[in-house]
């Protein structure tokens, strides 16, 4: 839960994701359906990726899908494709550093970042 409270965002998240949630699995699936049902793909973005050896690189990508990683703490992952590559790679939403997309897509990603207490993407 976020440290700083944004009443409008907080209430929207509770109404959409948590209204019927009984446990952590329901919450994770709520996030999955919220993102997969309401986001419009593909989304042009910039992602900070961790390379072997601990280095990071920021690259242009397209977000093409949402995945619920049930094998790892019921986490949400975004499927991204690098320019010129057809292989989908999965990253956590906080790996996205910028998007060039609709206000709706930005709001949804920022809802997730807000709830998990990560910095929001700039509008």
The pLDDT value recorded for residue 54 is 86
pLDDT score for 73? 62
Give average pLDDT by consecutive 10-residue segment, the chain, 123 residues. Answer: 80 85 86 93 95 90 88 78 87 95 96 93 89
What is the DSSP pairing of strand 96-100 with strand 89-91?
A: unpaired
Closest CA to 49 of 84, 28, 86, 77: 77
pLDDT of residue 70: 63
Q: How far apart are CA 123 and CA 66, in angstroms?
A: 21
Q: Which residue has the tokens 């900070």?
A: 48
Contacting residues for 45 by C-beta, under 8 A, at least 6 apart = 60, 61, 62, 63, 80, 96, 97, 98, 99, 100, 101
Which residues lie closer than 8 Å to 106 by C-beta, 6 or more apart? 99, 121, 123
- pTM value is 0.88
């Amino acid at each position: 839960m976020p440290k700083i409270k944004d009443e409008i965002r907080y209430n929207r998240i509770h109404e959409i994701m948590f209204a019927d949630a009984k446990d952590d699995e329901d919450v994770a699936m709520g996030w999955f359906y919220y993102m997969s049902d309401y986001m419009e793909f593909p989304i042009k973005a910039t992602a900070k990726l961790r390379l072997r050896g601990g280095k990071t690189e920021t690259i242009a990508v397209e977000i093409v899908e949402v995945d619920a990683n049930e094998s790892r703490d019921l986490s949400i992952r975004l499927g991204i494709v690098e320019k010129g590559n057809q292989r989908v790679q999965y990253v956590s939403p906080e790996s996205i550093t910028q998007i060039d997309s609709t206000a709706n897509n930005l709001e949804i990603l920022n809802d997730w970042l807000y709830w998990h207490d990560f910095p929001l993407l700039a509008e």
